[in-house]
Structure 1
């Protein structure tokens, strides 16, 4: 392949995928910090509640769902758990936390954050067509990286003279993280 063809392929793939590269990078950064804040949703309302939960209650998913209905929550239940005398119920648009000893708790209502929620969906989408498209995108990123390596044919900034050192450094950092973290 000639240098001109390599440059054209590199440029055209870069242009074609620039939107997806930015979306993945943006949502990837947000997902890296999802334990500190929930980037997909923001709080609209927090309401204090007080409920009477019998001490011998068997807290099943059905029980949690019924309790949600009693609290005026109509959306789909995602999960529930009891840990250290605290009941946590997660619905699609609400989170409920109740201290089982006192019956006091709160309902947090939220909505999806515009744009952020949609871009984060890209990382979680599991439909077949999206997986294949993402695979093609991954192969294209490899192509962009390799064509970028061989685009500069001569001089002191070629891959052979200088680029391999930077590439090695870029490879060592993730390897060290995989090994030690």
Structure 2
């Protein structure tokens, strides 16, 4: 392919996807830190609670769950329950409950979605068929942008053959080392 066609393809795909690239990058950065804070929601109200649980380390059955939700006066759409690190966790649409299984002490946190940030982060979580196909096309386009970018400079000391391959190799080795050593 001629250099001017590569430049045009690289430029046009870059222009077309610039908004999505920035959205994915921004929300990806936020998601990297979601274990220390919830960027897609913010707390409206927090309430300390104490209840009697008889779970014996298991998840609640349907009647126990309904009874606990009624006791806690939660009128929110239930999503799931989970036991993690000695805590019973209940997730609702706009409420989270964490209760220590041994002591029955816990907390109810009510929150709302953070405008724009929550929707942007949803790009990473969306699994609808049309979005999956669009994301696949986006992924292929990013590969094309990356490859055409390596082929744009064809003369001088900054070509891919002379210098770029070293940077590309370093950029590939770093995440591989991270995966091998840390993950």
Instruction: Report the TM-score when normalising by structure 1.
Output: 0.88
Change (3 A) 1:110 1:8: same
8 Å contact 1:64–1:89 — kept in the other structure? no
Q: Structure 1: which 5+ runs fail to align?
A: none
Deviations 1:99-146 (A, max 9, x none): 455544321101111111101111111111111111110111011011
Change (3 A) 1:75 1:156: same
Distance 2:125 2:101 in 1: 34
Match of 2:41 in 1: 41
8 Å contact 1:80–1:90 — kept in the other structure? yes
Change (3 A) 1:126 1:85: closer
Q: Which moved more, 1:82-91 or 1:105-114?
A: 82-91
Instruction: Report the TM-score when normalising by structure 2.
Output: 0.87
How much does 1:84 deviate? 6.8
For this pair of structures, how many residues does the alignment match? 181
Distance 1:154 1:60 in 2: 69
Match of 2:72 in 1: 71
Deviations 1:149-170 (A, max 9, x none): 1111201111111111111111
Q: Structure 2: which 5+ runs fail to align?
A: none
Distance 1:86 1:124 in 2: 25
Match of 2:118 in 1: 117
Match of 1:127 in 2: 128
8 Å contact 1:61–1:80 — kept in the other structure? no
How much does 1:69 deviate? 2.8
Distance 1:13 1:72 in 2: 52
Match of 1:178 in 2: 179
* C-alpha RMSD of the superposition: 2.3
5 Å-filtered alignment, 1:19-168, equals 19-53=19-53, 59-82=60-83, 86-100=87-101, 102-168=103-169
Change (3 A) 1:137 1:102: closer
